């Protein structure tokens, strides 16, 4: 069964490559020649949240990093190295941290559920939960998960903004804006969390307004 399914993947790949080349001759040659994405996407590893399809972008147009619950922390050299490459070498113009409603990692943090080794990683989301404990406690139970998914994306934008990678890039004059979004599996739409950071100034105010909007959405 496993061998058959893997072979089917290769067959699908060949069919896809042939179809693309028929419809867009020279596509792969052009793609191989350059990588100049304007966007970087930091998202969840969830297989239902594919960056290119959601945004309608072509291969080569978005640089992607994914992990459980779209977390950005100073100890994760993998994530920070990816951000630095995107900013310093590819000169991306927009970096989006994109959570998604119903995220299993965020739900585990909200409910203190044990999932295994990933509990150590999800501890970072629990920090977000604890930071906004009073806000979450004031919401109806059915809205708490959605709110924490949004708050987690917002706080990860803060972590990107405060990283040495971004502070150094902005100091050099790199024009990179950070954004916090949340994707819905129910309808395929992205919610702009209004957490947009164009540089080093005004982070606290933008953060405070974005958190207020989370509370307002959850209570309406």
pLDDT tens digits along 87-113: 999 999 999 999 999 999 999 999 999
Q: 12 — phi, psi (to 5°)?
A: -65, -40
Residue 76 pLDDT more than 80? yes
Is the CB of residue 180 less than 8 Å from the CB of residue 161? no
Axis-axis angle for helices 164-171, 77-84 (nearest 10): 20
pLDDT tens digits along 186-207: 999 999 999 999 988 899 999 9
Residues 6+ apart with CB under 8 A from 82: 40, 63, 65
Query: What is the C-alpha to C-alpha distance for residues 179 and 167, in angstroms, rounded to an integer?
Result: 16
Active-site residue, selected from the candidate residues 24, 48, 123, 219: 48
Structure token pair of residue 91: 């000169």
Q: What is the mean pLDDT of the chain?
A: 94
Structure token pair of residue 121: 């990683």
Please state the pTM of the whole predicted model: 0.92
Q: 135 — phi, psi (to 5°)?
A: -65, -50
pLDDT tens digits along 35-72: 789 999 999 999 999 999 999 998 889 999 999 999 99
Strand partners, 192: 181
State whether residue 10 is helix, strand or coil.
Answer: helix
Query: What is the C-alpha to C-alpha distance for residues 202 and 160, in angstroms, rounded to an integer?
Result: 14
Active-site residue, selected from the candidate residues 46, 65, 146, 149: 46
Is the CB of residue 113 less than 8 Å from the CB of residue 194? no
Active-site residue, selected from the candidate residues 79, 103, 149, 182: 103
Edge-to-edge, what's the strand order for the sheet holding 177-183? 62-67, 39-44, 94-100, 177-183, 190-197
Give the pLDDT score at 3. Answer: 56
Query: What is the C-alpha to C-alpha distance for residues 196 and 207, in angstroms, rounded to an integer?
Result: 9
Where in the sequence of the chain do the CATH 3.40.1050.10 domains occur? 35-219
Give the pLDDT score at 32. Answer: 79
Work out the number of other CB atoms within 10 angstroms of the CB of residue 106: 31
**66 annotated active-site:** no
User: What is the third-level CATH fold of 35-219?
Assistant: Beta-carbonic Anhydrase; Chain A (3.40.1050)
Give the pLDDT score at 5. Answer: 86
N-to-C CA span, the chain: 48
Counts of helices then strands in the chain (DSSP H, E): 10, 5
**44 annotated active-site:** yes
Query: What is the C-alpha to C-alpha distance for residues 140 and 89, in angstroms, rounded to an integer?
Result: 45
**46 annotated active-site:** yes
Return the DSSP state at 163: S
Residue 2 pLDDT more than 60? no
Beta strands in 9-88 (DSSP E): 39-44, 62-67
């Amino acid at each position: 069964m496993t061998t058959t399914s893997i072979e089917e993947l290769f067959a699908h790949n060949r069919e896809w490559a042939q179809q693309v080349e028929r419809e867009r001759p020279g596509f792969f040659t052009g793609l191989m020649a350059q990588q100049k994405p304007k966007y970087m996407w930091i998202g969840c590893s969830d297989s239902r949240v594919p960056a290119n399809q959601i945004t309608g972008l072509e291969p080569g147009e978005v640089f992607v990093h994914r992990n459980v619950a779209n977390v950005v922390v100073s100890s994760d050299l993998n994530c920070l190295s990816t951000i630095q490459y995107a900013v310093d070498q590819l000169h991306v113009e927009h970096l989006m941290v994109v959570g998604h409603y119903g995220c299993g990692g965020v739900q585990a943090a909200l409910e203190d559920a044990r999932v295994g080794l990933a509990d150590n990683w999800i501890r970072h989301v629990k920090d977000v939960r604890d930071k906004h404990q009073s806000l979450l406690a004031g919401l109806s139970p059915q809205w708490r998960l959605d709110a924490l998914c949004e708050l987690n994306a917002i706080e990860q934008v803060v972590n990107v903004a405060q990283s040495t990678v971004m502070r150094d890039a902005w100091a050099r004059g790199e024009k990179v804006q950070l954004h916090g979004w949340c994707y819905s599996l129910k309808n395929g739409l992205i919610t702009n969390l209004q957490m947009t950071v164009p540089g080093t100034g005004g982070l606290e105010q933008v953060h405070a307004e974005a958190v207020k909007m989370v509370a307002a959405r959850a209570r309406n």
